[in-house]
């Protein structure tokens, strides 16, 4: 993945678009522990930990929770110059509950989150400039669900400009039905975005939830029809399919683990994949790196694991 920033000091830069919320997790004793999380923010943190220059493009309030978030992101090495601070607003909040198998359920309070205003006047121009300033623009299906009507139209126009300017648009299909008025609107919006992407990280389950059907081969064919140059289709069973340059191959999880908490599994996979691609590794090796990072993350509770739990650089695949 040769980016515009190759050869510049510090290497390519990724701009991640989305929302971070206050995260409350139910502990075994019934009390709640507080952290912060959001799908593209999780990816941004893991990208920064993996040595990728990363900016977060979002909005927060002027409250203490928002200030704590910004300090935490800066401590992780995530750029915060493009985080709007809107007086009188509060960040969203969610609670994680996990079952005995480590699967999670989310309860959200986010309808008035400040990020929903970043494509409205007078903020839209600055938001667009921030997203076009990097070499890679990363967003997710949850990012898409934050915006309606004119704001979504401005986001789509920004993605078009990014494609024209040579900025690589990378999209994780991460679908959550609660963020959409109906599944038909979600499907139509996804289809428009897919046509503007260079790289798509797609989940078979995302399309099944959104459209009631979806198999790996069907998803791959859809992405190809929309002109996606590089795709990773994450399968319900361990592993994924990687397609690029006319070649499709499976990449298995190297060492399956019993998860403690699957929160941020896909987000951390995306970070491992992108970091490896930006360092010059091929798509299959990058998928292996994504599996390894995600495998470490699901061994720990919460979205962001301790720094000392981060895995070493992923090994190269044998020929």
Spell out the residues 6+ positions from residue 105 whose beta carbon is closer than 8 angstroms to its own: 96, 97, 98, 99
Name the 3-class secondary structure at 168.
strand
Name the 3-class secondary structure at 289.
helix
Distance in angstroms (rounded) separating the CA atoms of residues 318 and 295: 20
Angle between helices 64-76 and 39-49 (to 10 degrees): 30
Name the 3-class secondary structure at 89.
coil
Q: What is the distance of C-alpha 256 from the center of its chain?
A: 22
Would you give the DSSP letter of residue 178?
Answer: G
Angle between helices 183-194 and 204-211 (to 10 degrees): 140
Contact 3, 279 (CB under 8 A): no
Name the 3-class secondary structure at 20.
coil
Spell out the residues 6+ positions from residue 244 whose beta carbon is closer than 8 angstroms to its own: 229, 230, 231, 283
55, 135, 206, 267: the catalytic one is 267
Active site residue 267: yes
Contact 296, 265 (CB under 8 A): no
Contact 150, 181 (CB under 8 A): no
Q: What is the distance of C-alpha 132 from the center of its chain?
A: 17
Distances (CA, A) of 287 to 105, 120, 246: 26, 36, 17
Please list the active-site residues. Answer: 267
């Amino acid at each position: 993945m040769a980016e515009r920033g190759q050869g510049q000091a510090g290497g390519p830069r990724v701009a991640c678009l989305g929302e971070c919320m206050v995260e409350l997790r139910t502990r075994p004793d019934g009390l709640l522990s507080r952290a912060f999380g959001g799908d593209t923010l999780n990816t941004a943190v893991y990208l920064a930990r993996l040595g990728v220059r990363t900016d977060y493009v979002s909005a927060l309030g002027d409250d203490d929770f928002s200030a704590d978030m910004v300090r935490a992101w800066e401590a992780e090495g995530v750029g915060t110059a493009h985080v709007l601070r809107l007086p009188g607003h509060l960040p969203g909040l969610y609670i994680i509950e996990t079952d005995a198998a480590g699967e999670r359920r989310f309860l959200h309070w986010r309808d008035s989150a400040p990020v929903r205003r970043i494509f409205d006047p007078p903020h839209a121009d600055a938001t667009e400039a921030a997203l076009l300033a990097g070499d890679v623009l990363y967003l997710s299906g949850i990012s898409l669900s934050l915006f309606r009507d004119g704001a979504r139209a401005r986001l789509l126009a920004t993605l078009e400009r990014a494609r024209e300017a040579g900025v690589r648009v990378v999209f994780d299909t991460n679908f959550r039905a609660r963020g959409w008025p109906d599944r038909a609107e979600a499907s139509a919006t996804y289809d428009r975005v897919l046509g503007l992407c260079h790289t798509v990280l797609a989940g078979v389950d995302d399309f099944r939830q959104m459209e009631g059907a979806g198999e790996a081969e069907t998803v791959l064919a859809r992405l190809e029809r929309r002109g996606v140059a590089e795709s990773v289709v994450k399968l319900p069973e361990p592993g994924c399919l990687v397609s690029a340059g006319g070649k499709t191959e499976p990449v298995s999880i190297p060492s399956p683990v019993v998860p403690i908490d699957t929160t941020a599994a896909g987000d951390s996979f995306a970070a491992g994949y992108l970091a490896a691609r930006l360092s010059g590794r091929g798509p299959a090796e990058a998928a292996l790196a994504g599996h390894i990072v995600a495998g470490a993350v699901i061994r720990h509770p919460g979205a962001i694991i301790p720094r000392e739990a981060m895995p070493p650089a992923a090994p190269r695949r044998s020929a």
